[in-house]
Structure formats: C-alpha cells, structure tokens
A and B are shown apart, each in its own frame.
Chain A
Amino acid sequence: MTPHPNGDGPHPAVDTHELWKIFGEGSTAVHAVQNVSIAIEPGEFVALCGPSGSGKTTLVNLIGGLTDPTRGTVRVDGRDVGAMSERARAQLRLERIGFVFQAYNLLPVLSALENAEFPLMLRGAGREERRREVSKLFEHIGLGGLEDRRPGALSGGQQQRVAVARAVLGAPALVLADEPTANLDTQASDNLLEVMEVLNRERGVTFIFCTHDPRVMRRARRIIRLVDGHVERDAEKEPGTLPDWVLEPVDT
C-alpha cells in the first residue's frame, strides 16, 4: 500500500465507491458503469474483462480522470479524482499514470522515439536520460532501429508497442491499458507482457488491463468481469491459469 500523501495512512492504488457513469438522459440514457465499488492495491496485476459494451473502457477512463463520474467517487492513491481541477488531474496523470489506448493514438507528427519519450519530456527528464530509457526498452520489445519512423510508417503492432512503451517508460505507479495486445502477434504480445510483468514485479507498478485476450488474462493475478456496467465477478487467481467463468457467455 502506498502511504497517503498527507501521511494519514496507506491507500489503495485505485478505489471506486458506488461509481456510476450514465451517458445521456431519460429514455436514451446509457448506464455504462453502474454502482462499481472496487479497491485495487498497489502492485496488483488486474484484468478487466467482459463483453464489448460492458463498461471496461469507461471504467478505465473514470479511473484516469478522463471523464467525470455521474455519481460516486474514484480515488487514485487516496485522492478523489472527480474533485480535482483539470490541472491537478493532468499533474496526477503525468506523475502517476500511464495510458495505453485501444487505437494506439500515437501523435502522427512525432517519430516513434519522440512519441515514446513524450511523457518523460513533459516530466522534465533530460534528453540523454530519455534517449537511454527509450533505446533500452525499444530493443527489448523489438522496436530497435525504428526510432525515427513516424507512426504512419509503422505496422499496427509496432504502433501498439510504441504506445505501450510510452505508457510504461518512467515506471508510473499505475498503468491503465485498454486492449494493449489487440494488434500483436503471440511473440510480440509475450515480449510486451513480460516487460509489464517485470515492471510490476520489480518496481511495484500497478497494471489494470481492459482485455479480451486470454493471454493477458492468464498472466493477471486478479480478474474483474464486467457485464452491463456491473461488476459480475471479482476474483484473485494464480498466474498462468484461466478460470472457466472468464470466458463464459453473458447470461441473458
């Protein structure tokens, strides 16, 4: 558990309480997240699973402060994200959170290297330090030699690896990853997950994945299954195993 910034005791890495997110109003309202209360401790390796439209991405966006909850609270490191100013949220994301988006979302005018080092630069890291970190990770995830390529000159898988590198460089306390392996082959996917596991094991980085990928779910030590915005099941498991209920169809 991380100590609370004000020194009044440890807090979960992520803590949601009766969290709701409703899009629209009246008869057209969509209840994307409904009454979700979960606590994720520092250093956990969690997979959020569930069918498409079950609210995984919305929940991750709520945790990252990219959207405001309709009701309830979401705390990161004990801090109420919903109550923060835009500037404070930006600071929290910069210092504590790494994002991997579903559609890579690399900045097209930057090279692969510049995309990866972008958050480090926002944090004020020096050029040498940034280049050293990026080069080391790029070699490990098979992006060596592609540093100067723009996203348009990279394959989908390569772009996804750059996006992951951008999220994990500098070892943030929390990484929120939305389908990080969706466009990767088995080998690339394994390499990437290994990097994440090392960061998780050695630096205590907390990972929360939205995923449909059984490979990711196997490596997770806790799986939270969402259905229609509700937490249907939340259970810890042994790494390398895949409980049957994870892939069960939704009971209609």
Chain B
Amino acid sequence: MSDRGFWLRVGWRNLGRHRRRSVLTAAALAWGFAAVVVLNGILEGMGSDFVRSSTDLMAGQLRVQNPDYEPERELWDVVGGDEGVPLADLMGRLRDDPDVLGVAPRLYGAGIVASDSTSRGGLLMGVVPEEELRVTHFLEGVVEGALPAEGAQEVLLGQELARQLRTGVGEVVVLVAPSADGSLGNELYTVSGIVRTGIPEVDAAQVILYLDDLQFLLALAPDDVHEVAMALHDPWRAPVVAGRLSASLADLGPDLQVSPWTEFRPEVVEFANLIAGMNWVILVVIFLMAAFGVANTMLMGTFERRREFAVVKALGMRPTRIMAMVVGEALVLGLLAVAAGALISLPLVLLLMHYPIDLTPVAGEQMFMEGLFRFVLRVEHSWDIPVRAAVGLVLTAVLAAVYPAVRAVRVPSAEALAGR
C-alpha cells in the first residue's frame, strides 16, 4: 500500500461515512458533467451547422478572387487580372488540396432581364452547375424545370423574379448587360427552370446562366471568372487552407487572392463566437453550482470531524497534509462524478451524434445570415468537450474543497479534543 493509495483510500472511506450525502453530491456533479457535455455538444453542433448553412448555401468556405474585385465588383477585375490565369490549371491545383471538397468557378454581372410583358433589374451569375453543386446548395432549390445546360442559351430565374416578370419555364427572356468591352450585350435565353434559394434578395433578382454563356454576354474570355468558390471537408480549417493555398498559388501572379469564410463572412464568425461564449457560460454556471454542492458537503464533513482533525494535528500531521487530505476527498468525489457523468452522457452523445433529432417539423426553417438554418439536435464530434468538462469538474471539486480544508487546518486542537 503506497502512501498515496492510503490517502485515496482514506478519502474514499470518509466519503462512505455519509453515503447518502456523498452519493447525492456525486450525482449532482455527475448530472452537471453530463449536462455540460451534452449541451456543449449540441451547441457545438448547432454552431457547426450554422457555419455550414451560412457558407454552403451560396458563399462557399474559401474563395479565390482578384484582390481588387471587392468591393466595387468591376467586370474586368477577374481572377489573374489582365494577364489572366488558365482556369483549368487553377481549378486543378485547388482540387488537389486534400482539404478541398469541391471547386466552382463563378462570374457575376448586372443587367436588365425582360419578358414579353415587363422587365426587371437582374443579378447575373455564371456557373458550371455540376461544379457548383459540389460546393453550394442553392441550385438544389429548383422548384420547376431544370438547371441551364451548356451551350443551350438557358437561364434559371429566381422564383420571385419569375413571378414579377410573369414568365415561366420554356418562355424566352432578354438579357441586356454592360459588357467588359464597353458595349451593351444583349441576348435571348430560354427559361430552363425556376429556383427558390430562400434568400429573398436572391430569389427576387438572380439570373443564373451557364458560365460560358455569361462570359459571351459580358464579352469576357473563356478563362475569365470573378471568383472560384470552394467547399472544405472542415469549414474551421478555412484560414489554414487559405494560407497554404495563397503560398502555393503565388507563382500565378499578384492578382489572385485566397480568402477564408472567416474573412468574407465576419458576421458568421461573430455568431459562432457567440455560441462558443454560450458554451462557456453554461460551463461556468453549472460548475459554479457544482462548486457550492461540493463546498457544502466538505464543510459539513469538516464540522463533523473537528475532533479527528484535532487528533491528526496532535499526531504531527502538517497543515498542508491535512489540507491535502480534505482536498483529496473532493478529488475522489470529482473523479467518481466524472465516471458517473460519462456513463450518463456517453449514450446520449453517441445517439445525438449518429441519430440527430430534426426539430424542423416543429420549429420550421429559418433564413439567417444567408443560410437556411434547420433546428437539428446534433452533437458535434469533438472530444475536447468531455475532456474540458472533466478537467473543469475535477478542478471545481478540488477548488471548492480549499475553504473547508483551511477550516480543517484551523480547528483548535485542545478545544476540539475536549468536545468544545
């Protein structure tokens, strides 16, 4: 029996003297631990879902642009500048990055879209639909018809825009847009489909064409794009991947800039930080309650054992060791609670990790920060949460025992031995 083993055993036995009280305190701590683990996991999952929904719908998680493109968004500020870059080569290099899930080139413009009966201002967007679908979800919202096909002179209209134009699938519309060469481009297009993204300003103005068709309308070269959007396996790695890609693409010239979503969607970062902050608040509130529970249990134990503390002092036990004895009991209590809390929370965490509960039928979908947010109870796979909670709980228990331990050290020996 080592001395350390002896003291842990003493701690264990002392806790066993008031079994009901110790079990109740440990149970409260265990539930606190489980609540922190499950709630933090759900919030982490919500935060992750939020980041994904805010970046997956249209924005992408990483993008390559000409550094001069934002905020004026001039037509001629294409990726690679005047020299341009071979688009296929650029996309190939981006796809080769192990963090990159999909790569989608984009071209933007503004113009007038006119039907037989009326006209409206339109935001033009040239995409390669099959590439775009690997990066974002907005093209999945086709409610009627189909996506524009390559070389077919087709457009996909936002639902509200189509309604205002009083047009529909199979009808013809005219696009008129200022071109990069200073002329006014105009072409006839067939409406291939109607899309509803859920973003009101997009649905009321978006005109989506095949990339080649928009390049032709705007008098731009086949490799000219304003943006290459990317999806990543892990959105939180965007800043790291952006740095790595910036370095690896440096040979393509200065007119090319890689930005992570954390830069071009700062409001999403702020909201994600708010969720992380809520996690800490939950952690602190629950552990503060746990601290009072432990302090109460240990204080009662200290009062009841005044005579014993007086005895061990008389036998020559140093004050620091008496403190260690009391704190050791709290440590045992904390470790027990972590073990019990893990047993309680693990099944729930695994369940919500693998079988999320979709509350959309009850809560509905919410459009928030250009993302379609669904209320899903899902625990994000993140092992630092239980580790952080376990360390926090044990530390809480230990710190909460410090005051009772000081009281134990200060027990007046002679008076306590005399039962006073």
Contact surface of A with B, Cβ cutoff 8 Å: 57-58, 61, 64, 66-67, 86-87, 90-95, 97, 99, 101-103, 105, 107-110, 114, 118-119, 121-123, 127, 166
Across the interface, B315 reaches (CB within 8 A) one of A103, A114, A122, A127, namely A122
Closest B residue, CB atoms, query A119: B315
Across the interface, B17 reaches (CB within 8 A) one of A86, A91, A108, namely A108
Within 8 A of A (CB), among B282-316: 307-308, 310-316
Name which of B6-14, B144-152, B188-196, B341-349 contacts chain A.
B6-14
Across the interface, B307 reaches (CB within 8 A) one of A93, A105, A123, namely A105
The CA of A61 and the CA of B415, in the complex, are separated in Å by: 10
The CA of A121 and the CA of B7, in the complex, are separated in Å by: 11
- On chain B, the residues within 8 Å of A58 by CB distance are 414
| Residue contact B314 to A99, C-beta cutoff 8 Å | yes
Within 8 A of A (CB), among B392-420: 409, 412-415, 417-418
| Residue contact B308 to A107, C-beta cutoff 8 Å | yes
The CA of A195 and the CA of B115, in the complex, are separated in Å by: 116
Pairs A-B, 10 closest by C-beta atoms: A94-B316, A67-B414, A109-B13, A66-B413, A93-B316, A61-B414, A66-B414, A105-B311, A90-B318, A99-B314
- On chain B, the residues within 8 Å of A87 by CB distance are 318-320
The CA of A64 and the CA of B414, in the complex, are separated in Å by: 10
Across the interface, B316 reaches (CB within 8 A) one of A102, A114, A119, A127, namely A119
The CA of A97 and the CA of B317, in the complex, are separated in Å by: 12
- On chain B, the residues within 8 Å of A86 by CB distance are 319, 409
Across the interface, B317 reaches (CB within 8 A) one of A66, A122, A127, namely A122
Q: Does any Cβ of A come within 8 Å of B1's Cβ?
A: yes
Q: Can you list 15 A-B contacts (CB < 8 A)?
A: A61-B417, A66-B417, A87-B319, A90-B313, A90-B319, A93-B315, A94-B315, A94-B318, A105-B417, A107-B312, A108-B17, A109-B17, A119-B315, A121-B3, A123-B316
What distance in Å separates the Cβ of B376 from its nearest Cβ neighbour in chain A?
A: 50
| Residue contact B414 to A121, C-beta cutoff 8 Å | no
- On chain B, the residues within 8 Å of A64 by CB distance are 314
| Residue contact B318 to A91, C-beta cutoff 8 Å | yes
- On chain A, the residues within 8 Å of B415 by CB distance are 67
Closest B residue, CB atoms, query A101: B417
Binary per-residue interface labels of chain B (270-283) against chain A in the complex, 1 for a CB within 8 Å, 0 otherwise: 00000000000000
| Residue contact B316 to A91, C-beta cutoff 8 Å | yes
| Residue contact A122 to B316, C-beta cutoff 8 Å | yes
Given contacts A57-B418, A66-B417, contact A99 B315 (CB under 8 A): yes
What distance in Å separates the Cβ of B416 from its nearest Cβ neighbour in chain A?
A: 9
Binary per-residue interface labels of chain B (310-346) against chain A in the complex, 1 for a CB within 8 Å, 0 otherwise: 1111111111110000000000000000000000000
What distance in Å separates the Cβ of B396 from its nearest Cβ neighbour in chain A?
A: 25
What distance in Å separates the Cβ of A90 from its nearest Cβ neighbour in chain B?
A: 5
What distance in Å separates the Cβ of A102 from its nearest Cβ neighbour in chain B?
A: 8
Residue from A58, A103, A105 having most chain B Cβ neighbours under 10 A: A105
The CA of A99 and the CA of B10, in the complex, are separated in Å by: 21
- On chain B, the residues within 8 Å of A103 by CB distance are 417
The CA of A166 and the CA of B13, in the complex, are separated in Å by: 20
- On chain A, the residues within 8 Å of B13 by CB distance are 109-110
Closest A residue, CB atoms, query B16: A109
Count of chain B residues with a beta carbon within 8 Å of a chain A beta carbon: 29
Across the interface, A93 reaches (CB within 8 A) one of B308, B314, B320, B412, namely B314
- On chain B, the residues within 8 Å of A67 by CB distance are 412-415
Q: What DSSP secondary structure best describes chain A's contact surface?
A: helix
- On chain A, the residues within 8 Å of B413 by CB distance are 61, 66-67
What distance in Å separates the Cβ of A150 from its nearest Cβ neighbour in chain B?
A: 9
Residue from B1, B311, B316 having most chain A Cβ neighbours under 10 A: B316
The CA of A61 and the CA of B417, in the complex, are separated in Å by: 10
What distance in Å separates the Cβ of A155 from its nearest Cβ neighbour in chain B?
A: 20
| Residue contact A121 to B317, C-beta cutoff 8 Å | no
Residue from B13, B16, B315, B414 having most chain A Cβ neighbours under 10 A: B315
| Residue contact B3 to A90, C-beta cutoff 8 Å | no
What distance in Å separates the Cβ of A117 from its nearest Cβ neighbour in chain B?
A: 10
| Residue contact A90 to B316, C-beta cutoff 8 Å | yes
- On chain A, the residues within 8 Å of B6 by CB distance are 114, 121
| Residue contact A166 to B315, C-beta cutoff 8 Å | yes
| Residue contact B14 to A109, C-beta cutoff 8 Å | yes
What distance in Å separates the Cβ of A166 from its nearest Cβ neighbour in chain B?
A: 7
- On chain B, the residues within 8 Å of A92 by CB distance are 316
The CA of A64 and the CA of B314, in the complex, are separated in Å by: 8
Closest B residue, CB atoms, query A93: B316
- On chain A, the residues within 8 Å of B312 by CB distance are 107, 118
Given contacts A90-B317, A108-B17, contact A127 B1 (CB under 8 A): yes
Binary per-residue interface labels of chain B (1-27) against chain A in the complex, 1 for a CB within 8 Å, 0 otherwise: 101001000100110110000000000
What distance in Å separates the Cβ of A228 from its nearest Cβ neighbour in chain B?
A: 18
What distance in Å separates the Cβ of B406 from its nearest Cβ neighbour in chain A?
A: 12
The CA of A166 and the CA of B315, in the complex, are separated in Å by: 9
Residue from A57, A107, A119 having most chain B Cβ neighbours under 10 A: A107
What distance in Å separates the Cβ of B304 from its nearest Cβ neighbour in chain A?
A: 11
The CA of A112 and the CA of B89, in the complex, are separated in Å by: 83
Closest A residue, CB atoms, query B315: A119
The CA of A127 and the CA of B1, in the complex, are separated in Å by: 7
| Residue contact B10 to A110, C-beta cutoff 8 Å | yes
The CA of A107 and the CA of B3, in the complex, are separated in Å by: 17
What distance in Å separates the Cβ of A172 from its nearest Cβ neighbour in chain B?
A: 9
- On chain A, the residues within 8 Å of B414 by CB distance are 58, 61, 66-67
The CA of A35 and the CA of B321, in the complex, are separated in Å by: 35
| Residue contact B318 to A101, C-beta cutoff 8 Å | no
- On chain A, the residues within 8 Å of B409 by CB distance are 86
- On chain B, the residues within 8 Å of A108 by CB distance are 17, 308
The CA of A95 and the CA of B315, in the complex, are separated in Å by: 9
- On chain B, the residues within 8 Å of A166 by CB distance are 315
The CA of A155 and the CA of B6, in the complex, are separated in Å by: 25
Closest A residue, CB atoms, query B322: A90
The CA of A110 and the CA of B16, in the complex, are separated in Å by: 12
